[in-house]
Structure 1
Amino acid sequence: MKRILIKNASIVNEGKTVSGSVVIEGEKIVEVITTGKDPVPPCDETIDASGCYLLPGVIDDHVHFRDPGLTHKADISTESRAAAAGGVTSIMDMPNTNPPVTSIDALNAKFDLMAEKSVVNYSCYFGASSNNYRWFGKLDAHKVCGIKLFMGSSTGNMLVDRMYMLPDIFSGTDMLIATHCESQDIIKANTDKYKKRFSSTDDLSIRYHPIIRSAEACFRSSELAVNLAHKTGARLHILHLSTFRELTLLENKPLAEKQITAEACIPHLIFSFKNYRKLGTRIKCNPAIKSENNREAIRAAVNSDLIDVIATDHAPHLLKDKEGGALKAASGMPMVQFSLVSMLQLVGEGVFTIEKIVEKMCHAPADIFSINNRGYIRPGYQADLVLVRPDEEWTVTKDCILSKCQWSPLEGKTFKWKVEKTFANGHPVYADGQVDEAYRGQQLLFK
């Protein structure tokens, strides 16, 4: 098997940054050298990583690759290439496609599609519907990352918000339940209120989006999910928290002891209400981008470990779908290609440390989902690695966007960190500005 030596790197792993080298043999990491000694035996290829940081590959637990059925917006091929270029080596795809992944047949078909198309490692959630909880026991917990429950409406119309349905879902599995939490009753009441106030229009300015999909709508739904988890003993993972009030629902204890974990998404960490003025519906997403106070509280919760994971909620739409305002424009944005560099930019601004970013984007997803042998730089683990270089300025332009939708809310943004190489299972899936489109990632396995 081919042996690759990555030498002279600053290795970021398990809360520390140390100078050293890593040896890859085939798919695996076989040595992590921090003492200056030479690897044994000699290697076939040497990569001098002087000046670079070597991180575990990013594990994104929250993407919408739109495949099958919505492939005019995105597909597994295009979006996995964007992931590889961004240092993301593993993704977990959401079930709100067409058809939705709410049956065993649809799940198997989805896995076949991902095996055929994805250049990075992959898994898929099984979608909860109003009457499919009886199927949960037939799922292979070693292959399915979790159950996705939409307690708030979003793309795909998979909303489950009737109180009599929810206890069956929460008590129907010992698998992780990942929730989108927004109260549909509060959203509807707010929508009706502002449509009545502005009766001359069937749409509203984008600035009403976070007012309609309000902080109260988020809190009440998250509170309901937490109460149900406590009552049933369910393992709950709350996706894309966007308000400081929701943080009061979380447990301040070590990750290994938590029954309830939480995710922050890139848009809620980098944008705030004031960005609507320039970017408009390009940053429209569900839950909505809210005030700067909420953003700062989410950032602080990442640092204090109230929030456990950073993900993207990568959700591409065509630009024509983003036309309109608070009621008509589609919600969601493409983020996976620029997620790691966006967080490293915040490292440069002193918001986070690089060790904290690795913890939240690599280690914690691996631990929460019990992913087998990934998420860390350890001998015996799969060689999912990303090499990033600081102080390497570049600007996001349309030409460099790999997502099928061909736009980003970050166009024109200049970054000071650059992804140089991405390895998936020891294979250089991204190097020298090019993705190896012939490579196929592996299905994630869970302990």
Structure 2
Amino acid sequence: MGPCSTLSSCVAAMTSAISPATRLAGECRCESGVNERQRLIRGAQVVTPHGVSENDILIQGEWIVAVSPGLSSSGAEVLDAEGLYALPGVVDAHVHFRDPGATHKEDFTTGSQAALAGGVTTVLDMPNTPVPTVSAEAFEQKVAIAAPKSCCDFGLLIGATAGNASQAAAVGGAAGLKLYMGSSTGSLLLADLKSQQLHFAAYPPDRPLAIHGEDEEAVRLFSEGERRPPICAELAVTRAIALARRNRRHLHVCHVSTRAELDAIALARSQGVRATCEVATHHLFLSQDDEAGLGALAIMNPPLRSPDEVEGLWQRLDQFDMVASDHAPHTLAEKRSATPPAGVPGVETSLPLLFDAALQGRLGLPRLAALTAANPAAIYHLPHKGQIAAGFHADIVLLDPQGQTVLGERLFTKCGWTPYAGRRLRGHIVRVLLRGSDAFVDGEVVAQPGSGRFVSPR
């Protein structure tokens, strides 16, 4: 689908009263004809990283073509959004859909259905499946597996191993590289400095090199005391920053859970290192105080931190580039076993938790839009994702601030549980659009398997 040559060929026939600031000048990606489906979201409180304002949103086919008050379009389907907030579809840059190799826990169909139910329209899946994504062949195979299953758009990261630095760097369709400095689910631990340096030297500087930031030697040293204490994360992040500085690479630190990590990242940024970071939803909404009630359900890597540490993350939320779910499902039987694996589901509860926090004043709605959509799309170079603006995909979440959500009442994830079961939240997801089409409406996923598309960096 190629770009239109002029504004008039795709917009003028559809709308009147479009202000110059919102026109799609030279960026339209819709077909030049005007026979594509037209939808007009009317009267929404549109949230962008820059503010919240009442606007209409005009959609043609898969694309947003105008955002402005008072739009009209002959023949367009009108969606009344008065009293609703319109947020950009979440770009969840950290999920584990367990496919291929562990589909008894989750697969691309159930994982993407859970994503849409939580307002997530694009996911980036991690490479640490039982059949790890560590070669061009494995990458292509995973895309082929996911494409007919996924109900939402998806991208993939390539995994780092001791011998694949040059091969991983050559996989141009990967959104980034994932390097596990500490052990976690799967077999991709890469703890030795030589192998880590090879990847930092080889990976393209314009793409993020994402780390699981726990130092394996420290993890083993402290195994008899506090499980994976903060020093494990601090040591790993400090080393990764040094490697990023030496090789002039873009470092992305996954699931930051301590203020010490934020201190190290802030210092690195002040010294010119390109370092971005994310916080996982569970490190904001759960703490060590929840472990007694949750038992093995609360086991995750990195682990839950003290309430004081959690409050410190909230106080420094402006230092994070994104929030990700780190959706890592396991079955209840596995979590209740003698050796429970680490990880919790979260892709369908992340936005509801954050929206409730925004309504309570813990963060602003513009900041929410940046952390969950605009920033992850920009960091991973995902074209046309992450904003409600002309020229972007019509990935939109409509939420009712007067509604209520009870987490765990209904779940789409195959694992069938959530650590937040029973929490009552303000706000309710009413409708989710994926590239202009309904994907989730009034509690039901209506997008079909295969309607999601593979997305790769620009």
**TM-score, structure 1 length as denominator?**
0.91
Q: Which runs of 4+ in 1 moved over 3 A?
A: 251-255
- 1:275 aligns with 290
Partner residue in 2 for 1:307? 320
Secondary structure of the structure 2 residue equivalent to 1:337:
coil
Q: 1:284 to 1:429 in 2, by over 3 A?
A: same
Give the Cα–Cα distance (whole angstroms) in 2 for the partners of residues 252 and 433 of structure 1: 45
Structure 1 distance, partners of 2:268, 2:119, is 29
Question: Is the Cα contact below 8 Å between 2:227 and 2:303 reproduced in 1?
Answer: no
Report the counterpart of residue 176 of structure 2 in structure 1.
146
Which amino acid in structure 2 is aligned with residue 4 of structure 1?
R
Residue ranges of structure 1 left out of the alignment (5+ in a row): 195-210
CA shift at 1:218, angstroms? 0.7
Cα deviation code 1:51-95 (max 9, x no counterpart): 110011000000000000000111010010000111000000000
- TM-score normalised according to structure 2 size: 0.89
Report the Cα distance in structure 1 between the residues aligned to 2:194 and 2:163, rounded to whole angstroms: 11
The counterpart of 2:332, out of the listed 316, 319, 333, is 319
Query: Does 1:38 find its partner at 2:71?
Result: yes
8 Å contact 1:7–1:48 — kept in the other structure? Answer: yes
Residue 159 of structure 2 is matched in structure 1 by: 127
CA distance in 1, matches of 2:86, 2:113: 20
Counterpart position of 1:90: 122
**What does residue 435 of structure 1 align with?**
445
Q: RMSD between aligned alpha carbons? A: 1.7
Q: Check whether the contact 1:236–1:259 (CA below 8 A) recurs between aligned residues.
A: yes
2:388 is aligned with 1:377: yes
Choose from 184, 193, 211 the match for 1:163: 193
Query: Which residue is equivalent to 2:21?
Result: none
Residue 37 (structure 2) aligns with: 2
Q: Is the 8 A contact 1:5 1:43 kept in 2?
A: no
Match of 1:412 among 409, 416, 422: 422
Percent identity (aligned): 31
SS in 2 for 1:70: coil
Q: For residues 182 and 390 of structure 1, what CA distance do their matches in structure 2 show?
A: 38
Give the C-alpha shift of residue 113 in structure 1.
1.3
CA shift digits 1:316-362 (9 cap, x unpaired) = 0001111258xx22111110011101111111232111111111001
Paired residue total: 419
Q: Which residue of 2 aligns with 1:423?
A: 433
* Structure 1 pair 386–351 and aligned structure 2 pair: CA distance change class (3 A): same
Question: Which blocks of at least 5 consecutive residues in structure 2 are unaligned?
Answer: 1-35
What's 1:343 paired with? Answer: 354
Determine the C-alpha separation between the residues in 2 that align with 1:75 and 1:421. Answer: 23
* CA distance in 1 between partners of 2:372 and 2:393 (Å): 16
Q: 1:258 to 1:166 in 2, by over 3 A?
A: closer
For 2:88, the equivalent position in structure 1 comes to 56
Residue 397 of structure 2 corresponds to which residue in structure 1? 386
Change (3 A) 1:277 1:223: same
Q: What corresponds to 1:47 in structure 2?
A: 79
Measured against aligned partners, the alpha-carbon deviations of 1:165-200 in whole angstroms (never above 9, x if no partner) come to: 111011111131100011111111222x35xxxxxx
Deviations 1:75-125 (A, max 9, x none): 010010000111000000000112100111110000111211111110010
Work out whether residues 429 and 436 of structure 1, in 8 Å CA contact, stay in contact via their aligned partners in 2: yes
What SS does the aligned partner of 1:81 have?
Answer: helix
Q: Which amino acid aligns with 1:348?
A: L
- Distance in 1 separating the partners of 2:124 and 2:408: 27
Question: Which residue of the partner structure matches residue 333 of structure 1?
Answer: 344
Corresponding residue number in structure 2 for 1:234: 249
